[in-house]
Amino acid sequence: MATTAAPKLTAPGGSFLLESRHPDEVFMPEDFSEQHSLIAQTAEEFAQNEIIPNIEKMEHKDFSVTRGLLKKAGELGLSSVEIPEAYGGLEMDKVTAAVIADHIAKYAGFATTWGGHTGIGTLPIVYFGTDEQKKKYLPRLAAGEIVGAYALSEASVGTGGVNCRGTGYVSADGKP
């Protein structure tokens, strides 16, 4: 079930900083739908009950905790809002994604991992993947069964991924 908020903002880019704007032209938390508020509550409870109590473990690089939290976020639907329903996602709007990110950001260490998973690890498949890739990866990414990421090797490119080269091999057990 997709959620959409009618965009009211007509100010392009950051022009709201330089121009006078009427309050009706700005989207504010008071404009959230009931669905946005419910998802915000879920994300807040996840942050308070799951992320914050585990900060110390994550600070000491207990990656099993981080991995477990990614799985729980997936089970709660917090990692699938931008994935189409046809591929196991919730197919919701950008406002919903931002609402969730706002609450996940209670601890930047986990927020960065979650953002890498949902953003740079998942969205390129949503936007540019073949149907076969979407069917294979998106349901598992949405559920938190696998973790999305972006690998960058800078052996010959400096700081960009434009000239990145790499070789991948399937493990002996055949799993990706």
DSSP for 83-151, written as a single string = S-GGGTS----HHHHHHHHHHHTTSHHHHHHHHIIIIITTHHHHHH--HHHHHHHHHHHHHTSS-----
Burial (CB count <10 Å: 0-12, 13-18, 19+), residue 96: buried
- Whole-number average pLDDT of the chain: 87
Residue 136 CB neighbours (<10 A): 15
3-state secondary structure of 40: helix
> How far is it, in rounded angstroms, from Cα 40 to Cα 55?
21
Quote the pTM value: 0.75
State the CB neighbour count (10 A cutoff) for residue 83.
25
Q: What is the pLDDT of residues 31-88, one digit of tens each?
A: 899 999 999 999 999 999 999 999 999 999 999 999 999 999 999 999 999 999 999 9
